[in-house]
């Protein structure tokens, strides 16, 4: 055997020995390759076979699939602790504009008035009268200004239902005041009345012979006439702006105190011995079958009562109408 043949034989033997020794490794490599191919095939089947390419000249078609809605979050588990309840608002914790002002003590005995019948009050110190005379304020109700001293004379008439009025003499109203104290004498359709007292932030403040009514701004049967005049003097719109509404004042008499309700009927032209006068008519509101009072206040004459009428339950009436105005004397 030549040298070349020997070398070929020797190389063949080495390869045979090598394959014999590493046949297990080769088998493992083959199995691994088959496993990888099997995995790739499974993935391809799950993803779906690739779409075939469109034929030449065919338009490419696309379809937009709607986005999947996000998965709803699971509801939150209720807390084991109870929710914190808000603190109740106390009187001291309320804002200043939410705390109601102290009500007028007269409101305890008087029914609630319509909103328009109780005009908003204005601080008297912030709005002084043009002539320097101080204004007084009824808390939560009306502004009042004390009338100047005056003496009024009236012609008195009486009238039965269906008959003409008949002259029945004269009547007087004598108001004396120094701005702080007053004396009022009245002799007319309401009888012979006298009132004395002073002034307060609620207006005229009578001195009551009997127990004083438990109401701020209470008047007696005589002083209520000048209190109405003082309301018009302090702020005319407290009367002019209340047409068909009411002014309410606590009035004390022999039978006790009650709320006197005066409905503003409007402005009228009143014929007097001094000529025609524009006056605002106020009619007292009372239950059926009771006597009532009507008052005419003249803005051109200091809102004084230029006419007073008492209408009795039987329909008869007694009226006193102004005939003279004279300066009064101080108290």
CA atoms within 13 A on the CB side of 94: 8
Packing angle, helices 23-47 and 3-21, rounded to 10: 60
The more confident residue out of 77 and 27 is 27
Tokens 């002014």: give the residue.
Answer: 247
**Position with higher pLDDT, 51 vs 137:** 137
Q: Which of 245, 251, 227, 246 is nearest to 304 (CA)?
A: 227
- Mention every residue, 6+ apart, whose C-beta is less than 8 A from residue 320: 154, 155, 156, 157, 171, 188, 189, 307, 308, 309
Higher-confidence position of 225 and 241: 225
What pLDDT digit, counting tens, does each position of 82-100 carry?
443 433 333 333 333 333 3
Q: Which two tokens stand for residue 218?
A: 């209470």
> What average pLDDT does this structure show over 205-234?
90
pLDDT digits (tens, 9 = 90+) for 266-303: 999 999 999 999 999 999 999 999 999 999 999 999 99
Question: Which pLDDT tens digit goes with each residue over 110-126?
Answer: 333 343 333 333 333 33
Structure tokens at 49: 């076979």
pLDDT per residue as tens digits for the range 158-168: 999 999 999 99
Collapse the DSSP code of 177 into the 3-class scheme (helix H, G, I; strand E, B; otherwise coil) and give the result. Answer: strand
Work out the mean pLDDT of the chain and round it to a whole number: 75
- pTM reported for the whole predicted model: 0.61
Q: What is the pLDDT of residue 140?
A: 56
């Amino acid at each position: 055997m030549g040298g070349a043949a020997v070398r070929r034989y020797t190389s063949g033997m080495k390869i045979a020995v090598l394959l014999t020794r590493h046949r297990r490794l080769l088998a493992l490599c083959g199995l691994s390759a088959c496993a990888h191919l099997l995995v790739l095939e499974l993935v391809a089947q799950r993803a779906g076979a690739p779409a075939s390419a469109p034929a030449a000249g065919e338009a490419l078609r696309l379809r937009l699939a709607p986005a999947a809605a996000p998965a709803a979050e699971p509801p939150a588990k209720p807390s084991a602790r109870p929710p914190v309840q808000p603190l109740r608002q106390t009187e001291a914790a309320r804002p200043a504009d939410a705390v109601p002002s102290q009500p007028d003590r007269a409101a305890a005995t008087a029914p609630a008035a319509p909103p328009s019948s109780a005009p908003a009050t204005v601080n008297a110190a912030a709005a002084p009268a043009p002539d320097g005379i101080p204004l007084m304020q009824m808390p939560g109700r009306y502004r009042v200004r004390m009338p100047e001293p005056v003496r009024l004379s009236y012609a008195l008439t009486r009238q039965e239902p269906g008959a003409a009025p008949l002259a029945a003499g004269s009547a007087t109203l004598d108001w004396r005041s120094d701005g702080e104290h007053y004396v009022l004498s009245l002799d007319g359709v309401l009888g012979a009345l006298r009132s004395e007292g002073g002034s307060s932030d609620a207006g005229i403040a009578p001195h009551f012979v009997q127990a004083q009514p438990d109401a701020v701004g209470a008047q007696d049967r005589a002083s209520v006439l000048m209190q109405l005049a003082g309301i018009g003097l302090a702020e005319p719109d407290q009367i002019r702006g209340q047409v068909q509404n009411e002014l309410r004042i606590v009035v004390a008499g022999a039978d006790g105190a009650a709320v006197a309700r005066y409905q503003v009927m409007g402005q009228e032209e009143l014929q007097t011995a001094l000529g025609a006068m524009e006056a605002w008519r106020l009619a007292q509101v009372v239950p059926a079958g009771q006597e009532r009072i009507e008052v005419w206040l003249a803005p051109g004459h200091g809102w004084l009562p230029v006419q007073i009428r008492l209408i009795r339950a039987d329909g008869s009436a007694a009226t006193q109408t102004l005939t003279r105005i004279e300066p009064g004397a101080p108290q």
